[in-house]
C-alpha cells in the first residue's frame, strides 16, 4: 500500500518545527505510513531535516504560488504552517490539492495555521465590541469571521475564508487551527512573532515593557507543544479514516489558560528586572499610534486586535476530538524567565 504523502510548509519555523517534531516522534507510527516533505528556503537547513527522515523541497518563498501549487498536487495532505496571513499561498496549496484529487480520485486534506486575533474585538477605537465571549469552536465561527471580514478585511481572516470556500468548491477537506498566544521553547528557541518575545524585545529598546491602552483585554494561551499535538491528532485520524469535522465546521480553537494583556506584560517586566535586563517593572502604556510600530508592524489594526483586544475562546470541539493539552499553568508562569534568558543569550548578553 502506497504511503500517504504529506507536505509541510514552515518546518524550520516556530509552529512548523514543533509540528514536524510531533509527527516524527509520534507514537502512532506516523513515519511508517507517511512520506513527509518539507518546503524550505534555506538550503543550509536541509541536512537537519533529512537527518530525521523527511524529504526536502526548495523554494524562494510563499510568493512562488506556482511552485506551491505543483508541490501540493503531488501530496495527499498539506500542512500550511509558514504564515496564516498569506492568502495567495493558501489558495495555491488548496488548488494544488484539488488537482491531486482529480488525478487520483482520492480525498485530499489541507491543514491551515491561523490565530484568534481573527475573533478579537476593538476595545480602544470602539469600532467593534463583542459581548458574546467566550466563543466556542462548536459555534458557527466561519459565519462569524466572514461577517467580521466583510466589515473590516484582515489578512489572516481573509486567508481562512478563501481556503475554506475553495476547499468546499473543489472537494478539498480543510482544517483550520486557530491558536491564541503561543508560548514555550521547542524546536525553535527564537520564536520571533509570539507575544512574549516581542514584548521582551520592545522592553530592551524602551527600558520598560509597553502595553497598548490599559491592558484589560482577555486572551487565551497555549504551549507550542500542545498546539502541535492537535495537528498530530488530526493527521492521525485522517490516516486511520476516522471522522474529523472539516470545511466550515473544521475550525478548531486551541486554548489552555487565560490572561489579560496587563498580566502578561507585568510578568515580562518582573522577569526582566529579576534578570537585571531592565531596571523598572513599571509598564509603559502606548496609544495605538505609538504601538503600531512596536506591535503592529506599522498597522494600527494589528496593534489593536493582536495586542489589546479581547479574544476569549473555548476549544470544545478540539477536546471532543481527543485533544488533551499536557502543559500546566506552572509551565506558563516559568516561561517568562526562560524566554528572557533565550533572547539575552542570543543577543550575547551575560546572565550571571
285-332 pLDDT, tens digit each: 999 999 998 898 888 999 999 999 999 999 999 999 999 999 999 999
Condensed to tens digits (0 to 9), the pLDDT of residues 81-115 reads 999 999 999 999 999 999 999 999 999 999 999 99
User: For residue 150, is it within any domain?
Assistant: yes
Tell me: pLDDT of 187 over 70.
Answer: no
Considering only 98-107, 183-192, 259-268, which range has the smallest mean pLDDT? Answer: 183-192
In a domain, 278, yes or no: no
Helix (H) or strand (E) holding 160: helix 155-170
Q: How large a percentage of the chain has pLDDT more than 70?
A: 95
**What does pLDDT average to over the chain?**
93
Question: Phi then psi for 210, rounded to 5 degrees?
Answer: -85, 145
Alpha carbon distance 49, 8 (integer Å) = 12
Beta bridge partners of 326: none
In a domain, 317, yes or no: yes
What's the pLDDT score for residue 351? 45
Distance CA 266, CA 268 (A): 5
| For range 54-61, the mean pLDDT | 91
In a domain, 117, yes or no: yes
pLDDT tens, position by position, 19-41: 999 999 887 776 678 999 999 98
Cα distances (Å, whole numbers) of residue 27 to 32, 77, 186:
11, 19, 18
Q: How do residues 114-143 score in pLDDT, each as one tens digit?
A: 999 999 999 999 999 999 999 999 999 999
Domain span at residue 176? 4-191+219-258+311-327
In a domain, 200, yes or no: no
State the pLDDT at residue 350.
Answer: 44
Give CA separation, 267 vs 198, 243, 261, in Å. 14, 41, 10
Whether 285 maps to a domain, the answer reads: no
**Residue 336 included in any domain:** no
How many independent structural domains does the chain possess? 1
Is 165 a member of any domain?
A: yes
Amino acid at each position: 500500500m502506497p504511503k500517504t504523502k504529506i507536505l509541510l510548509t514552515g518546518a524550520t519555523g516556530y509552529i512548523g518545527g514543533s509540528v514536524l517534531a510531533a509527527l516524527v516522534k509520534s507514537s502512532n507510527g506516523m513515519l511508517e505510513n507517511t512520506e513527509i516533505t518539507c518546503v524550505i528556503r534555506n538550503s543550509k537547513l536541509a541536512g537537519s531535516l533529512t537527518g530525521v527522515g523527511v524529504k526536502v523541497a526548495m523554494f524562494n518563498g510563499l510568493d512562488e504560488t506556482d511552485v506551491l501549487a505543483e508541490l501540493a498536487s503531488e501530496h495527499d495532505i498539506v500542512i500550511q504552517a509558514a504564515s496564516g496571513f498569506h492568502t495567495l499561498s493558501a489558495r495555491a496549496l488548496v488548488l494544488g490539492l484539488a488537482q491531486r484529487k482529480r488525478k487520483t480520485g482520492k480525498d485530499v486534506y489541507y491543514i491551515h495555521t491561523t490565530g484568534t486575533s481573527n475573533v478579537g474585538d476593538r476595545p480602544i477605537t470602539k469600532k467593534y465590541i463583542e459581548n458574546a465571549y467566550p466563543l466556542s469552536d462548536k459555534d458557527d465561527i466561519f459565519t462569524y469571521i466572514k461577517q467580521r471580514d466583510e466589515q473590516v478585511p484582515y489578512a489572516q481572516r481573509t486567508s481562512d475564508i478563501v481556503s475554506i470556500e475553495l476547499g468546499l468548491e473543489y472537494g478539498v477537506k480543510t482544517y483550520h487551527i486557530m491558536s491564541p498566544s503561543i508560548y514555550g521553547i521547542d524546536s525553535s528557541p527564537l520564536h520571533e512573532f509570539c507575544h512574549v518575545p516581542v514584548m521582551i524585545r520592545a522592553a530592551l529598546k524602551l527600558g520598560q515593557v509597553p502595553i497598548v491602552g490599559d491592558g484589560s483585554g482577555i486572551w487565551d494561551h497555549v504551549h507550542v507543544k500542545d498546539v502541535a499535538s492537535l495537528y498530530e491528532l488530526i493527521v492521525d485520524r485522517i490516516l486511520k479514516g476516522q471522522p474529523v469535522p472539516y470545511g466550515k465546521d473544521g475550525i478548531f480553537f486551541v486554548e489552555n489558560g487565560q490572561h489579560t494583556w496587563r498580566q502578561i506584560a507585568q510578568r515580562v517586566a518582573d522577569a526582566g528586572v529579576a534578570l537585571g535586563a531592565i531596571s523598572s517593572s513599571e509598564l509603559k502604556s502606548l496609544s495605538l499610534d505609538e504601538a503600531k510600530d512596536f506591535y503592529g508592524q506599522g498597522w494600527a489594526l494589528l496593534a489593536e486586535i493582536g495586542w489589546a483586544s479581547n479574544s476569549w475562546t473555548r476549544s470544545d470541539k478540539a477536546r471532543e476530538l481527543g485533544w488533551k493539552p499536557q502543559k500546566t499553568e506552572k509551565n506558563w508562569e516559568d516561561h517568562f524567565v526562560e524566554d528572557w534568558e533565550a533572547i539575552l543569550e542570543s543577543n550575547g548578553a551575560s546572565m550571571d
